[in-house]
Amino acid sequence: MPSITVARTECRRYLRGKTPWIVGIVFVLLTWDGISAQPTEEEIRILGDAVTLLSAQNSVLVVVPFAAAALAFRSIIGERESGTARITLGTKLSRHRLVLETMFGRGTALLVPVVASTLLVVGYDAVQYGRFSLALLLGLVLLSTVYVFVWMGLLVGISAMSSSTTRAVAIGSLVTTVFFLWNDLTAPVLWNFVTGTTPGTELAYPALFEAAKWVSPFSAYNVVASWLFGAPLGPEVPLSQVADAFNDAGEFVPADPPLPSWSGAVFLLSWPVVSLVAGIMSFQRTDLAPHNSTRLRALFHRFPVPALPGGRGLRKAGATLSGLLPGSWQPLARREFRRLVRSPLVWVVGALVFLDGIISLSPEVYVQEALGSSVPLAAVQRPIMAIAAIGVLFGTFRSVVRERDTGRIRLTAGTAVSRTESLLGFVLGRASAFAVPVFAAVLLTCLIAGPQYGLVPAGELVAFLALTFLFLVVMAGIGVAISTVLRSQSVAGFAAMVFVVVSIMWQFVANTVYEVVTGTAVTGFNPPENLLYVLLRWLPPGSLYNVATNYIIDVPNSGAISSLVISHLQPNRISNAVVVRISYGTDVPVWYLHPSVGLVGLLLWFVVPLGLSALVHRRRSVD
């Protein structure tokens, strides 16, 4: 049967590559690096033989979604873009069988290293604890198998309904990140938006909120694993569920679960079913060759971008300035700018920045009093640092690798533009395209806020916009560097997603790195005396952008957004945001914590990745 041939081919293709080895190595390293806490004697007594499965279960929980993303992003859309789907479907194979067999083939390729690593880790822990249960091991292997195909089905369905690799990577990364942060961030934010309350003593409908935390695949997998291991049911890992069941007196008193145990299995299985059905229905109706112009894109091409007052003079001035700059990258930058500025992506990013800025124009009274006319700049600080940064990254990670895949890079290589200048053209052209709607969002937000807060000082606004442009250039440089160094669009998209997730979780990562290096456990609530910890917290580009823009709008020195910093200054308010003045008594305790470090750090984030990628690009064949 041709369908079996497709599944077999997909499985063999990836088993013969590097992916299984990388997945297995990461799996074992995460286990031995202490991703799961060590159980106490009382917890071992309660869990029994299941204690030998905890490390493997935690590694499966974390590794599988991101490994599935690397394999599934281009599973269907990549076949359409390359034309392979048209050849494959020229046989008796139907479209829905192509989607399903691709999912089963790639899922099996991922399952092999996951099961092998699970057996290795469980065997090691069985020797360490002197316990073992074959029935529990078989149950974990079966649950891990289901979990692998859950994520593979979810992401293959997204690939099937996407019209380009960029959209498949963006949507898949968003879904994976939202589910990964479901318990700690996504669910509380959604609950606050719907009910106006946050988790705590005043939480509305607490039982319903606890049930909502079971919805994500991560949580559902933990619920089923807790049932298998005999731990209290809940959305956290089984060991955490056991630890949380102990009261202040040290007695084991598990709380009643908000839903029956089988609900976890229902939530777990529903996500791939919904995604695959939607993906197959979309794939059945669309042309095999993905169109570059969807309805929204066609709308942008039909109606030109409105001319701004003085726009012709600005264009002439920009052309004159670009002609004075050294190098031959300007034509390539103009091409990339024109190509991207008419795409829906940049304008959607600008619209989201504007909407978030408008929503944030009514902060607490003490924030309004502290910022005065700078409130609109503080309002757009967060969406630029988050939404615009992610948009630029996903708008650039394919810039070079796609040119290489399509062969268009030969046209550029045949001109007078050097390879280093071509990378510079990609970066500045695409960053400028995103800067247009982002600047418009900032200016409109300031205009709307003018009657209430007054006009933003011109010097402050210009400095803020200049730093914002530098930040967009930095993110574009990172995206282009990823696209240059990596040879596959799928791997480049996966790398972009990992960069976003690590940036979001950087507070936890920084605390872990500091603990590993110094042997001292720290948190933002109680930062150490070593000032290098603050510098470590400032390391991501988003934090450096906050440091520099906080200085512009006269907010105390910190890598957090301005409203959170001001809130941290109020009596009886605590947060894990490190405000240098509060923690160390002054805004600049040492020279390397001066706010100008934010600007220097952003420049380094531009120079280092772009320099390394230029070195790779010069030595690599254009094919």
How far apart, in whole angstroms, are the C-alpha atoms of residue 206 and residue 277?
33
Q: How far apart are the first and last CA of the chain?
A: 35
pTM (two decimals): 0.71
pLDDT band at 256; cut points 50, 70, 90: confident
248 with 341, same domain? no
What is the pLDDT at residue 178? 85
Shared domain check, 341 and 263: no
Q: What is the 3-state secondary structure (H, E, C) of 550-594?
A: HHHCCCCCECCCHHHHHHHHCCCCCCCCCEHHHHHCCCCCCHHHC
Q: Which amino acid is at 490?
A: S
Handedness of CA 337, 340, 343, 345 (dihedral sign): negative
Is there a domain that residue 313 lies in?
no
- The angle subtended at Cα 388 by Cα 166 and Cα 433, nearest 5°, is 70
pLDDT bucket at 320, cuts 50 / 70 / 90 = very low
* Residue 309 pLDDT level (bands cut at 50, 70, 90): very low
Residue 54 lies in a domain: yes
Domain membership flag for residue 301: no
- How far is 510 from 538, CA to CA, in rounded Å? 9
Band of residue 323 on the pLDDT scale cut at 50, 70, 90: very low
Say if residue 493 is in the same domain as residue 404. Answer: yes
In a domain, 53, yes or no: yes
Helix, strand, coil in percent for the chain, rounding step 5: 75, 0, 25
Q: Are 147 and 115 in contact (CB under 8 A)?
A: no
**Mean pLDDT of the 224-231 span:** 90
Q: What is the mean pLDDT of residues 1-11?
A: 72
Domain count, the chain: 2
Residues 265 and 399 in one domain: no
Does the pLDDT at position 621 exceed 70?
A: no
| Structure confidence by residue, pLDDT tens digits, 588-614 | 788 888 888 889 999 999 999 988 988
Residue appearing with tokens 């002197």:
130
Nearest to 163 by CA among 344, 369, 35: 344
Least confidently predicted of 171-175, 216-220, 425-429, 568-572: 568-572
Same-domain status, 240 and 389: no
Instruction: Say if residue 264 is in the same domain as residue 331.
Output: no
Mean pLDDT of 439-451: 91
The dihedral of CA 278, 279, 282, 284: what is its sign?
A: negative
pLDDT digits (tens, 9 = 90+) for 68-109: 888 888 888 888 887 888 888 877 788 888 999 999 999 999
**246: β partners:** 252
- Confidence (pLDDT) at 104: 92
Alpha-carbon torsion (607, 609, 610, 612), positive or negative: positive
User: In percent, how much of the chain has pLDDT > 70?
Assistant: 87
What whole-number distance in Å separates Cα of residue 494 and Cα of residue 21? Answer: 16
* 483-493 per-residue burial string, b: 16 or more CB within 10 A, e: under 16: bbbbeebbbbb
Whether the pLDDT of residue 507 is over 90: the answer is no
Above 90 in pLDDT, residue 439? yes
Model confidence at 478, in pLDDT bands (50, 70, 90)? Answer: very high
pLDDT classification of 303: cutoffs 50, 70, 90: very low
pLDDT value, residue 186: 74
Q: Can you give the pLDDT at residue 242?
A: 83
Residue 385 and residue 278 in one domain: no
Give the residue with greater pLDDT, 601 vs 519.
Answer: 601
> Which residue among 285, 309, 344 closes a domain?
285
What pLDDT digit, counting tens, does each position of 395-422 carry?
Answer: 888 888 777 766 666 665 556 567 778 8
Whether residue 333 is found in the same domain as residue 255: no
- The whole-number pLDDT of residue 431 equals 92
Residues 602 and 451: their CA atoms lie apart, in Å, by 34
- Mean pLDDT (the chain) is 82
The SS3 of residue 246 is strand
Instruction: Give the pLDDT mean for 371-384.
Output: 90
Which three-class secondary structure state does DSSP give residue 445? helix
Q: Quick one: which of 290, 476, 487 has its CA closest to 395?
A: 476
CA–CA distance, 351 with 8 (Å, rounded to integer): 44
Split at pLDDT 50, 70, 90, the class of 24 is confident
Same domain as 237, residue 373: no
**Residue 215 clears pLDDT 70, i.e. is over it:** yes
Residue pair 389/583 in contact (Cβ under 8 Å)? The answer is no
Residues 224 and 361 in one domain: no
Q: Is 469 left (phi over 0), alpha (psi -120 to 50) or beta?
A: alpha
Q: Fill in the DSSP letter of residue 51.
A: G
Confidence of residue 269 (pLDDT cuts 50, 70, 90): very high
Q: How confident is the model at residue 158 (pLDDT cuts 50, 70, 90)?
A: very high
Alpha-carbon distance of 275 to 263, in angstroms, equals 19
Q: Are residues 191 and 132 in the same domain?
A: yes
Single residue among 285, 315, 341 that ends a domain in this structure: 285
Whether residue 277 sits in one domain with residue 337: no
Distance from chain centroid for Cα 154:
17
The whole domain housing 188 covers 6-285
Residue 619 pLDDT > 90, yes or no?
no
The two three-digit tokens of residue 138, written as one number: 């078989």
